[in-house]
Amino acid sequence: MFSAQSQSDPTRKHDAGFTLLELLIVIALIGILSAIAIQNIALYRARSVDASMRSDLRNAAMAMESYYGEFFGYPASTSALLLIGYRNTSGVTLTINVTSPSTYTLNAARAAGSQASFTFDSSTGLIN
């Protein structure tokens, strides 16, 4: 049985803290996990930039076809697409290249993506 004296004995040492080695191991593990997380965050950010460029290309292609249906020709500038209701994402630069009366290419560029720009070709309907 335990006596009250053994619990209040001032000569007894209490080992209730962490050792320096345990603290260093925990700090090292937190550092490794944060390094992995930072890389994943950068990858997700680049993918979201790519998605915004591709989305703008799809929306601009729809606006180009709407413009063609209303004015019987493709516009040469992005300001003409504003008449149809096209709004681009902030930071995305869209350029239009009308290659013939029936075909065009769209180029969307934005910094910090996995690639510098994406291109939509109206003859194939693909985004590259």
28-74: pLDDT as tens digits? 999 999 999 888 898 999 999 999 999 999 999 999 999 999 999 99
pTM of the model: 0.72
**pLDDT tens digit sequence for 3-16:** 555 555 566 666 67
For residues 89 and 53, what is the distance between their CA atoms, to the nearest angstrom? 8
Domain contains 3: no
Site of tokens 């703008």: 56
Amino acid at position 79, single letter: S
Compute φ and ψ for 99, nearest 5 degrees. Answer: -85, -30
Which residue segment(s) compose the domain that 72 sits in? 49-127
Site of tokens 């070709």: 121
Domain contains 6: no
Q: For strand 126-127 and strand 103-109, is the pairing parallel, antiparallel, or unpaired? A: unpaired
Domain contains 2: no
Domain contains 5: no
